[in-house]
């Protein structure tokens, strides 16, 4: 999978990043580690479960508990 590694600092940046992922998948989805929806969702759940370690190991704080609701909606409508 090849996508831009630029920072996502706005709604527009995030939309552009997601579109770049879609283009990458359309061009060569078989090269993705999680090339189907089932494996992608499982990997996403595993990352969320392990995020505390990632954040802690990089000296960052997890988002406050209340910020997960909007993420849920984004995943559900996507």
Quick one: pLDDT at residue 55?
74
Record the pTM. 0.67
Task: Report the alpha-carbon distance of residue 19 to residue 63 in Å, rounded.
Answer: 25
Task: Report the alpha-carbon distance of residue 48 to residue 54 in Å, rounded.
Answer: 10
pLDDT in tens, the chain (78 residues): 545 556 788 888 888 988 999 999 999 999 999 999 999 999 999 988 887 777 777 887 777 775 777 777 777 777
Q: What angle do CA 11, 66, 77 make, to 5 degrees?
A: 50
Give the C-alpha distances (Å, rounded to integers) separating 70 from 11, 29, 59, 66.
13, 28, 24, 9
Quick one: pLDDT at residue 2?
47
């Amino acid at each position: 999978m090849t996508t831009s590694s630029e920072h996502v600092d706005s709604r527009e940046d995030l939309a552009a990043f997601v579109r770049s992922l879609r283009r990458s998948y359309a061009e060569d989805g078989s090269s993705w580690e999680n090339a189907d929806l089932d494996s992608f969702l499982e990997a996403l759940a595993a990352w969320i479960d392990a995020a505390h370690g990632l954040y802690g190991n990089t000296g960052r704080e997890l988002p406050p508990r209340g910020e997960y609701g909007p993420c849920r909606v984004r995943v559900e409508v996507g």
